[in-house]
Amino acid sequence: MKIIVLGFALCCLPPAHAVAQANRSPGPQHGTVNVILAQGDSLVVVTDSMLTNRFGHSPTGFKLVKIDDHTICAIAGFYNEGGPDSLEAFGAFIPRILENFSYDRSQESFSNMARSLEVYVGFSLTTHFNAVAPAHPAGWTNDPAFALELTLAGYDLDGSLQVADITFRPIRTKSGIKLESFDRPLGSSTPACAYAAGLQKIAQVEPIDDNPITPTGLVVHKINGSLFCDVAGLPNVAYEMLANPHAHTSDVLISYADAQKTGKTLSAAELRSLAIFLVEQTENSEKKKRTFKVGGPNLVAVLSGGKVVEAPPDAIEEQARAVGALLGGSKLSASTFNCPYRTVKSAPSKPVYELTGDAKLVDVQMTSKGCVQTIDGIVIHDSSFRDSTLFYYGIGPILFGNSNEVVDSNLVLGPNAKAEDPSVQKLICGFKWKAVYQESRELHCAE
């Protein structure tokens, strides 16, 4: 399994319009619908593109990612849920993690691939969560409403079509924040098609120290001749229509009901039309309630005959174009920097990463040699600093994870940084700094 290096600007998406807040109910709450319909060797996934956070809604999300020519993944959950300020930009973060997932397709069964993806996403998110946790001490952990739902769909080594439900939430433990995997709620009025595929619950494995998740909720559905449906996010509207098609007058639902009655296999085109209809009806329901949690352009993927025949847009390219300056032209790439080393005790001329323009958060995993870096309000985790100088001015939270390595490097505190503050003391005492300075005065642990 390849672990990626993260180094890109994250931002908070602005509201499209003010909305009334709906009352919460048990289970994941978010502004998404992912409709998955499959029969035989064909599968269709349709998602909306509305991002929902505490400010409102913006139709700029990319909730459907092509993993390879045979596999796709849909996203719902805290990807677009509110929560801590520095977590509101997962609309950009999570699709990029998925697009950099890699595995050996010739060797990996679909169930093993799903497990690898679960652990891979869990590792990437856990390092981020633990870096931002000091600024958000409670609230969003151990909350059943703060969940991530991934639906992986593709072909196994034998050519069979399979769907995996991967659902987890952050929990706080003595050793830090980890992700807990759990069974996905089905919602009300669950139709028979939700149980139409063969089901395998992947056996729990013994947790190990470096495994960021407790793997208990991974379920794999094996598609057969019956129509299978799986709806993540806000499932109730779609499930009610699939459970009671004759209660509605739509030609699409009538055709679906007739096919179910006669045993007819729906074509990929028919599955596509039905999935789009269900997403649109969920959007209409949200509009009527004035909650607007579903909407925007639909994203569509179609798998048939062992491969992806219709793919969603590339999330990285499309986000850069749609969100533009809000993402600051950020890109996901390996981040290794070698800079001319100078002993620095005053303000840096140009840090490697910084908060600029509209970017609200920078999430960084980097290797630095001889470089200058500011840390106010920047999430830095799983990074290495050698012969470098780091600045903390005291104007933003310290989000410097304990997974970082510091070797022969200096820390410089600005005049607004309070050396006696517990978070500053933790920064000073928690790493092996070559020296710590504030206004040319050398500081020591507990000073």
Q: pLDDT tens digits for the chain (447 residues)? A: 332 222 222 222 222 222 222 233 333 345 688 999 999 999 999 998 776 655 455 555 678 889 999 999 998 876 544 334 444 445 556 777 787 787 777 778 898 899 888 888 877 777 767 766 665 555 555 565 677 889 999 999 999 999 999 888 777 777 777 777 777 777 667 899 999 988 777 755 544 445 544 445 688 999 999 999 999 888 999 999 999 998 998 999 999 999 988 989 999 999 999 999 999 999 989 888 877 778 778 899 999 999 999 998 765 444 444 333 233 333 333 356 666 544 444 445 566 766 554 444 566 777 888 888 888 877 777 788 999 999 998 887 787 877 789 999 999 999 889 988 888 998 999 899 999 999 888 998 865
Residue 306 DSSP code = T
The reported pLDDT for the residue numbered 122 is 79
> Which among 312, 297, 304 is positioned nearest to 98, based on CA atoms?
312
Residue 34, CA distances (Å) to 47, 122, 149, 236 in order? 5, 21, 10, 12
- Where b means 16+ CB within 10 Å and e means fewer, 185-210 reads bbbeebbebbebbeeeebeeeeeeee
Superfamily assignment of 12-17+27-326 in CATH? Aminohydrolase, N-terminal nucleophile (Ntn) domain (3.60.20.10)
Inter-residue contact 89 to 348 (CB < 8 Å):
no
- Residue in the block written with tokens 């801590």: 84
> Which among 230, 227, 273, 232 is positioned nearest to 253, based on CA atoms?
273
N-to-C CA span, the chain: 44
| CA separation for the pair 325, 321 (Å, rounded) | 9
| CA separation for the pair 156, 162 (Å, rounded) | 7
| CA separation for the pair 318, 49 (Å, rounded) | 12
- 334 CB neighbour count, 10 Å cutoff: 11
